[in-house]
Structure 1
């Protein structure tokens, strides 16, 4: 059996990497996109449908699961894997991003963060130790260290203080780990400055961990700034550990990040925009509510073999969306997640076969051209 927490790098092409990471609940292949199951469910999807579309890893939300139904209940009922009937790897975030997004509902100190629940206004406190306890009770395979996620923009002084606090919280997070099956990842912060990012990276990687993440992106900054930073930043991360870009993003973002050397991704985007009628295809982005699809009897994406594309027309998907039918959200979500997983599968194959550069260029031509015109 492969060693738990081991990352094996199989092939590289340029900065793009193809690897395998091993957890207690199995190995997954990278580059990988992780489906976001915020409240112990990927919205509109069953675990069986997730497997069918190629999902390898599901992400759970520490903040939301702590508030409802609570990690102690989930632990009593056999852990998060059993609770949600997902038996592959699960990664949980630390709760930091959600807590810090509460702004006026929180009070931060060296010890941790006191906040009021968005559900009922009740007071709660999360420290690095509490975050680790929650995630270990959930039974997560990969646990994220508790960090501070700054707003954009932030001053140099705010960024420096935040990086130092994140590092101190990382040391406390590691000290609080008592469950060997759970693998702790550290989070690099530092805003949009390469020098700040290098400083944070040096701090975080001074702690030996199974993997490292880039946090603090997709917090309101112009996306081109992330695109410009990643090619210089990602290759500086340890070569023998998985590199995780948190909360990103569109198909274009993923291709640019893989080309920069990133291995792991998560984002609510494929399911969130699916419920709003936006669908990703190999021909570019589609807004299914458009009048042009009213009588369109063709499949959403002729290049796609998902359940939705094999069985339903664009006209039907448009009708479902405009009628507010639950089935529309389900069919759209099935397609978008299938598309994301297939994108990762094709990326892995391209790196393996030495065709990454042509695959990357083809994807960017397809996605960017259509996105710009839609």
Structure 2
């Protein structure tokens, strides 16, 4: 199922658009919250579906993690229960990653066949192959799935990055042949190459030759600075089709999202907003706010008086501080509601700036606020 992007506005390389699928359509640029095990930590899919920004936008895509779902409860179980949408209760679009990023964080034994690793749940040994990743994700039944790739850490030597590019290309070709659920499930190829501009360009060209349904750039925001990340990203994007969505994996800090959109990226995911929320850090138009600070103990103010989320409308900072300091799960939920609403609203603002032809003006306002926060948390 090839994904086509209908571009509705441009400002430089940045664009807004609409992507149509068999499930419906979604507007871009788009931020995808991460529901690792089929649900966001501390937030039900019902609560997620109820989030609305000031512009009326909602979470249109939820990302789930193949590594965790294949181990618990198992892809076959999810399939038996009606697939990931029925299983999770989320009616919007869903995307699953291949599980490769999590597997490679476990120092697996990698061969030409695939990656052998031990489960973090019970220590059992498993083999993840390109074909197996495709089959598992077809059973999970998301609207979009990712090929198995090799994400090299940064910094890495050129030889390590070259090996990652070669293995990713070989595995991508095998995944393309293995993909059978072509009528209702898009398969996205992934560009690798670390922060090496030449390797990024080569990887993008080789990935496009395989004619995937859309394309992603992985292996960034894994230890490099934003100054190293953006040129590598730009070199990859220059080789990707203009009329298909481009997905930057694992990047979720506000400034990196804005910079990437300026280069032509359409889709993002990251655990950053939800992870920060569980630790009492809230995203606001004036930067990060640590709700656990003593100065908020008796504050009657909302986190953001202009935010339409249920947290800001109904609860003062004093309560959020009280619950966060105690580690109450209610605090995690309330802070997550706010952070997701905020990041979705931030992407709304980017979209509106593109339509108005004022993205540079918006960038000049935002950069001083967020320049000290590094890129997101990786692919």
TM range (shorter): over 0.9
Is residue 56 from structure 1 mapped to residue 54 from structure 2 by the alignment? no
**Cross-structure match for 2:224:** 221
In the TM superposition, residue 307 of structure 1 has moved relative to its aligned partner by 0.6
**Cross-structure match for 1:28:** 26
Calculate the TM-score normalised by the size of structure 1. 0.95
**Cross-structure match for 2:130:** 128
Three-state SS of the structure 2 residue aligned to 1:297 is coil
Between the aligned partners of 2:235 and 2:116, the Cα distance in structure 1 is: 36
1:12 to 6, 10, 15: 10
In the TM superposition, residue 95 of structure 1 has moved relative to its aligned partner by 0.8
1:190 to 190, 193, 211: 193
2:349 to 346, 362, 365: 346
**Cross-structure match for 1:38:** 36
1:150 to 140, 149, 152: 152
**Cross-structure match for 1:366:** 369
Alignment root-mean-square deviation, CA: 1.5
Q: Which digits, 9 at most, give the CA deviation of each residue in 1:133-153, with x for residues without a partner?
A: 000000011110111111222
Shift of the 335–286 alpha-carbon distance from structure 1 to 2, 3 Å rule, reads same
In the TM superposition, residue 230 of structure 1 has moved relative to its aligned partner by 3.3
Between the aligned partners of 1:79 and 1:367, the Cα distance in structure 2 is: 39
Is residue 244 from structure 1 mapped to residue 244 from structure 2 by the alignment? no
1:1-374 matches, within 5 Å, as: 5-53=3-51, 54-103=58-107, 106-180=108-182, 181-368=184-371
Calculate the TM-score normalised by the size of structure 2. 0.93
Between the aligned partners of 1:170 and 1:321, the Cα distance in structure 2 is: 44
Are the equivalent residues in 2 in contact too, given 1:146–1:170 (CA < 8 A)? yes
Three-state SS of the structure 1 residue aligned to 2:243 is coil
In the TM superposition, residue 44 of structure 1 has moved relative to its aligned partner by 1.3
Three-state SS of the structure 2 residue aligned to 1:36 is coil
In the TM superposition, residue 234 of structure 1 has moved relative to its aligned partner by 2.7
Aligned length: 367
Are the equivalent residues in 2 in contact too, given 1:77–1:83 (CA < 8 A)? yes
Are the equivalent residues in 1 in contact too, given 2:217–2:236 (CA < 8 A)? no
Q: Which runs of 5+ in 2 are unaligned?
A: 52-57, 375-379
